[in-house]
Amino acid sequence: MAGTLSPEALATVEAMDLAITCGYAGMGLGTDTLELVQVAESLGYRQAWVAEAYGSDAPTVLAWLAAQTSTIGLGAGVMQIPARTPAMTAMTAATLDTLSQGRFHLGLGVSGPQVSEGWHGVRFTSPLQRTREYVDVVRMALRREQVSYAGEHVTLPLPDGPGKALRLTIRPPRPDLPIYLAAVGPRNLRLAGEVADGWLGIFFSPEHSADMLDAVRAGREVRAASEGAPAGDVMAGFDVVVTVPVVVTDDLEAGRAAVADYTALYIGGMGSRKQNFYNALARRMGFDDAADEIQDLYLAGRPRDAASAVPFELADATALIGPPERIAERIGRYADAGVSTLSVAPFAASTAQRAEVLRTVKTALGASARGGGTSRVGR
């Protein structure tokens, strides 16, 4: 239980923020999402993160939410790098930050080869270098510098033509608005630490997270050295945001079943047999046999069987499942592992039940911190 945490860990729990992960529009997202984000805002949740894949786009949904909220931070989780030029992303980020009065958080990700090449028509080559250059140009544009850049993947303006270096015409409230990277593999995690202000994690297990956060920390050390920063905690100010499915139930097997389809989709079907970042992550966590079986079944066109093959141990490692007191104990482990923002993906049958999940997690966070019931709120 929470009492087993060290005093240092308890202090970390008290400092941990909450967010809500909204998912994709058109897949249950509508007035339900607006209502849940407004509930989260009323509870003091710090952020709301909106995803995109090859359906709804994140910026449109975020603009809609910005018009109907006032304090909660609004994050793109993520805007896909192959979907937009870096200049277009900077324009969108500046616009959203202006409309939301400084509440926007820019999450970026390279997506995967199937979406990048199959939907956007962009080769999934050199994703690390492409991301590095992309972030460089976005930051230049948001600082309202004249954008002149010569990289391996991004060149602005184009040579031998009429183009000239241009400057963003609007002044965003925050030229240094926070940039987050979605990352799964070790090299991309290191890059996130080096070039971003936060990391967006998924399928995060506190018990298997040391290597992931060590990679982020290594990137932070590179950044600190390059900036000549004084010695200190290189992770200070860096936001570790992890999306966590939450199922409040006394029936642990029912909780496993509730997240099994989601887990099977990512581990079995998100990518090809040769290149599935989430399958590789499950293997690094020690679930090799389960990863094999889930992927084999999913790629054979048997997604229900793949979901049935998700073991409780894997679901429990990467989600919060159980009654409130068990969830409170698990939240303490996330804080102890170094998570600064826990982004709740509420799994329940109705809007009212999903809202109750948000309330339960808020209460559980307070219980984990020994009755404080309060976390830092704001943007």
Task: List per-residue pLDDT tens for the chain, 379 residues long.
Answer: 344 556 666 677 888 999 999 977 654 556 689 999 999 999 999 999 999 999 999 999 999 999 999 999 999 999 999 999 999 999 999 999 999 999 999 999 999 998 999 999 999 999 999 999 999 999 999 999 999 999 999 999 999 999 999 999 999 999 999 999 999 999 999 999 999 999 999 999 999 999 999 999 999 999 999 998 887 899 999 999 999 999 999 999 999 999 999 999 999 998 888 889 999 999 999 999 999 999 999 999 999 999 999 999 999 999 999 999 999 999 999 999 999 999 999 999 999 999 999 999 999 998 877 543 333 333 3
* Assigned CATH for 18-245: 3.20.20.30
CA distances from 7 to 4, 325, 336, 370, 377 (A): 9, 19, 10, 11, 22
E strands, the chain, in order:
17-23, 47-50, 73-80, 104-109, 149-150, 155-156, 179-182, 198-202, 239-248, 320-322, 341-346
In sign, the C-alpha dihedral spanning 204, 205, 208, 213 is positive
Cβ neighbours, 10 Å, residue 324: 15
In angstroms, rounded to a whole number, what is the distance separating the alpha carbons of residues 130 and 82?
A: 9
If you ran DSSP here, which 8-state letter would residue 229 be given? P
* Contact predicate 180/106, CB 8 Å: yes
pLDDT of residue 374: 33
Q: Provide the CA 348 distance to its chain's centre, in angstroms.
A: 21
Tokens of 17: 């923020």
DSSP per residue, 251-306 = -HHHHHHHHHHHHHIIIIISS-SS--HHHHHHHHTT-HHHHHHHHHHHHTT-HHHH
Helices then strands, counting H and E runs in the chain, come out as 15, 11
Cβ neighbours, 10 Å, residue 40: 26
Indicate the residue type of 294: I
In angstroms, rounded to a whole number, what is the distance separating the alpha carbons of residues 142 and 138?
A: 6
Indicate the residue type of 214: D
Three-class SS state of 199: strand
Omega before residue 178 within 30° of 0, cis: no
Q: Which of 271, 294, 291 is nearest to 282 (CA)?
A: 291
In angstroms, rounded to a whole number, what is the distance separating the alpha carbons of residues 313 and 48?
A: 28
Residue holding tokens 């069987």?
A: 305
